Amino acid sequence: MPQPDPISACLIIIGNEILSGRTQDANLAIIGGKCDALGIRLTEARVIADTETAIIDTVNTCRAQFTYVFTTGGIGPTHDDITAAAVARAFDVELLRNEAARKALDRYYEPKRLTEARLKMADIPAGARLIDNPVSGAPGFQLQNVFVLPGVPAIMEAMFAGLTDRLVGGDPIITDNVTTNLPESEIAADLSALQAHYPDISMGSYPYFRKGKLGVNLVLRGTDAARMKAAAAALMTAILRLGGEALHGSPT
């Protein structure tokens, strides 16, 4: 097994609608991909309710434990959007009407449509650095290693793009796939031996059932392109030797 990377991240997904499964989260996959490219290991995600206690406790636990913490959700205009206030309490700082955030809302909304409910989106913890929102005005913010982002995936993604110069990562993480028609249990021993031979590459085995066919998707993750290539080739060889079909690439 590779040693844990010192540059880690945790995503905190805030919102009852995600927790109940009514809304399917899409931010984990987006942020996971961005972290890979930046060489940051997203090692945990937590889905929590939009209650003050849950947000305060989770933010404080995670910011002590991970290099970076991202939160999504709960920064809109309604009563259940309490992320900014709760993060202020987590850091024990005041929540203040932020002038730059107010101006960003001014630029986005027509004057008489900037209601009090919308102005609430300019209330930002003292000392926070804003994260620009190029899509819909209302900014996110950064307090130390915590980055507070909205829940709507397209907006979140556009805002994340403006963050990359604030995040220091390592070598980009590369993913590769080998697919086979052999059952998981028949490749288990070889896969185990290969994992031991390539401790710097994380190997995952995921059975799937698609288009009427059973198969296994073997996923390799690492940072060294040459080692990744050698590991994928070794895996292909092992599968062929066992009499299976081996396909380099994803099963979709």
Binding site for its own copies (CB under 8 A): 1, 4, 15-17, 19-24, 28-30, 32-33, 36, 42-51, 53-54, 76-81, 115-118, 120, 152, 175, 184-189, 191-192, 195, 202-207, 219, 221
Characterize 97-112 residue by residue with b for buried, 16 or more Cβ atoms within 10 angstroms of its Cβ, and e for exposed: ebeebbebbeebbeee
Residue closer to its own copies, measured from CB, 188 or 240:
188
Residue closer to its own copies, measured from CB, 207 or 249:
207
> In the complex, what is the shortest distance from the CB of residue 123 to its own copies, in angstroms, rounded to a whole number?
13
> In the complex, what is the shortest distance from the CB of residue 91 to its own copies, in angstroms, rounded to a whole number?
21
Residue 104, SS3? helix
> In the complex, what is the shortest distance from the CB of residue 230 to its own copies, in angstroms, rounded to a whole number?
19
> In the complex, what is the shortest distance from the CB of residue 38 to its own copies, in angstroms, rounded to a whole number?
14
Residue closer to its own copies, measured from CB, 164 or 192:
192
> In the complex, what is the shortest distance from the CB of residue 85 to its own copies, in angstroms, rounded to a whole number?
13
* CA 8 distance to own-chain centroid: 11
Secondary structure tally for the chain: helices H, strands E: 9, 12
Residue closer to its own copies, measured from CB, 48 or 101:
48
CB 173 within 8 A of CB 143: no
CA atoms of 177 and 219, how far apart (whole Å): 5
Residue 10, SS3? strand
Residue closer to its own copies, measured from CB, 171 or 206:
206
Residue closer to its own copies, measured from CB, 81 or 143:
81
E strand spans, 49-180? 68-72, 95-97, 123-125, 129-131, 140-143, 146-149, 174-180
Q: Are strands 174-180 and 213-222 parallel, antiparallel or unpaired?
A: antiparallel
> In the complex, what is the shortest distance from the CB of residue 127 to its own copies, in angstroms, rounded to a whole number?
27
